[in-house]
Amino acid sequence: MLYPIDTLTRQVKELNGIWRFKLGNGKGLAEKWYEQELTDTVPMPVPASYNDIYEDKKYYKHIGFVWYEKKFMIPDLWKDKRIVIRIGSATHNSIVWINGKKVIEHVGGYTPFEGEISDEINFNKENRITIAVNNILDLTTIPIGQLQFKSKKYKKLKYYFDFFNYSGIHRPVKLYITPKQYIEDVEISTLVLANSGIVSYSIKTSSDSNIDIEIIDNNEIVANASGYKGEVTIDNPTLWEPNEGYLYTFRIKLIDEHGNIIDTYDERFGIRSIKVKENQFLINNKPFYFKGFGKHEDNYIIGRGYNDVFNIKDFSLMKWIGANSFRTSHYPYSEEIMRLADEEGIVVIDESPAVGLNLNIHISSDDIINLDNGDKIQLPNTWDVVDCQKNHLKVMEELINRDKNHPSVVMWSIANEPASEDEGAYEYFKPIVELTKKLDPYRPVTIVEYQGALPFNSRITNLIDVITLNRYYGWYIASGDLDYTKELLRRELIWWWDLYNKPIMMTEYGTDTILGLTSTTSLMWTEEYQEEFLKVYHEIFDELDFFIGEHVWNFADFATDEDITRVNGNKKGIFTRNRKPKKAAYLLKNRWNNIPNYGYK
């Protein structure tokens, strides 16, 4: 899937801005709201989550469909072109109409979707786009959830993840045009040799024509090729490196029989290689050490909405603190963030939205209250209950199709904290891992393990290339006891290595910390405890030569659902939600700026 850009043959028109918005009442589809202009609307910014925009809590708590509408004009210059509508993401399921005619239906809240609308467009009057977005999750969706009816009047959407279920049109809405004959897609992979780089490519087009290729560096053509598939060698290339995001331009020209350009597209790419070997993670044949965070797309007011200002600020803070990487926990981030990571040289572990595939760790007080008298809590086998493998396969295909050419992406994370110890986990994940490796044989694969998955009971470790662990010794387990934490952590990490001989990294470790809460004895929730906690983990990390990286949880405080364990959100951030540093930020800055990207282990 090609990202929309302007070229000599293509043009992009953004539909971002103020849209008309209306909460659904369960009758919108039946009453065909899309056939006429919406009534009783309020203004709503796009892209943004709708939950925090208005002071009425009905927006914050809404369950079900919401409706968006916007009018737009199309220039006559577009008449003989292929016109496409593209939505960066809408959470979670969407239907799109143009002038009352359905053109797209998409399941999934974190990947882009698009459709041709050339036949639905009016060129001599206004056009109307209507988008219905539904935030309900069930046991077939990725991520999963359940709509629960607590009484005849009260319903609740139970979701199995610890971040707020922000909803709406979260990423840019764009119109773009291509010629009727057009370039559909390009796949680029690279290999680093001693004094050269090999660039392999494969191109898809809507019809058979000639293909010319140019690889451009600093406005100079450094290599040429032709044909739909091939290899190009670049001598003495400048490599894409962590913190040094050097990019080339891969220019594709679709040529007719007379030598005229039909369509052209530029794909930015970096030359770098990835390999897992014994106890090391190699980038450009050098042992790389991950330093960084699990993050969230989360900010005040706009929620999960895309925003250039916040993204640039976050990348600036990551560079300031000495980070070289992050994980897109727990869903694919915007295409614009991925492009920024390419440019800035930030390494990315790219994660699917498969979070919460673990019913056992989400038994709540509500579940207990609603048990009939005499019932006992029966912990379910997750894989007997969920029916989401089909959508999981689909979202991995969408994710890889979207992000395959990003040099910043070095590993696919297929899921976060699944019930890997339950019978059926291997059977569930095996075809997903196989599909991932088939679609991308060049990048390693991981599945992030939760605290209850241990070396002796995990059923999925043999499927993956790198062991990634979320561990909270000293917080949820051995709370406040950092001496015991040290013993537990060291013992478990060595256990994993002894059984599997695969490199290990920590994808989550951290403590809830309130800015300004202090204690001379480093009590839990204080800034001092967060510092001491990190020091204990780092001491163990540094002892182990098979340990390849550390991602603190979290980069910044973030919103969660209302809960007695979450005081206005999750406070495990090294920065506050408005990006102010806690004391631990300076500890990490000192540590990470003294750990090289290569050769630390």
**Positions marked active-site:** 417, 508
Q: How big, in percent rounded to 5, are the helix, strand and coil portions of the chain?
A: 20, 35, 45
Tokens of 583: 């004391």
In sign, the C-alpha dihedral spanning 490, 492, 496, 498 is: positive
- Which residue intervals of 185-307 are DSSP H helices? none
CA 217, 221, 223, 229 torsion-angle sign: positive
The order of strands in the sheet holding 248-255 is: 220-226, 210-217, 248-255, 261-269
H or E stretch covering 587:
helix 583-592
Sheet architecture: strand order including 101-107: 42-46, 17-23, 65-72, 127-134, 93-98, 101-107
Q: Are strands 286-287 and 280-283 parallel, antiparallel or unpaired?
A: antiparallel
- Cα 199 from chain centre: 26
Torsion sign over Cα 393, 349, 337, 541: positive
Phi, psi values for residue 152, rounded to 5°:
-65, -30
- Rounded to whole angstroms, the Cα distance separating 571 from 559 reads 9
Query: Strands 17-23, 42-46: parallel, antiparallel or unpaired by DSSP?
Result: antiparallel
Element (H, E) at 312: helix 308-321
